[in-house]
């Protein structure tokens, strides 16, 4: 039972690692002048990650609990897709 909960904890560490990146995007985007395109892009990117946080946790948990442990690339791909679709 202990190893099962340890696997769940390790699975959730990857989506949690995305949260500081989203906060940094939001913060830098709000710090820049609002009429700059890069500021708007950074704000939308941070908001997109935070908006789809439940999806990121679901994918992170699913791939973390998988036997082959090859989920980091898939999670990064989902983040990149979400940011691109939202902008």
Q: Smallest Cα–Cα separation from 17: which of 57, 52, 44, 48?
A: 57
Taking the C-alpha atoms of residue 63 and residue 44, their distance in angstroms, rounded to an integer, is: 26
- Which bin fits 25, alpha (ψ -120 to 50), beta or left (φ > 0)? alpha
pTM for the model: 0.71
SS3 71: coil
Q: Which residue has the higher pLDDT, 30 or 73?
A: 30
The 10s digit of each residue's pLDDT in 9-62 is 888 888 899 999 999 999 999 999 989 999 999 999 999 999 988 888 888 887
Per the CB < 8 A criterion, the answer to whether 18 and 49 are in contact is yes
């Amino acid at each position: 039972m202990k190893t099962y909960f340890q696997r769940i904890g390790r699975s959730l560490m990857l989506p949690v690692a995305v949260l500081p990146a989203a906060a940094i995007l939001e913060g830098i985007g709000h710090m820049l002048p609002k009429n700059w395109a890069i500021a708007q892009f950074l704000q939308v990117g941070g908001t997109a990650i935070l908006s789809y946080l439940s999806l990121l946790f679901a994918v992170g948990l699913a791939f973390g609990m998988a036997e082959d442990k090859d989920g980091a690339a898939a999670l990064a791909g989902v983040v990149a897709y979400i940011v691109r679709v939202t902008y």
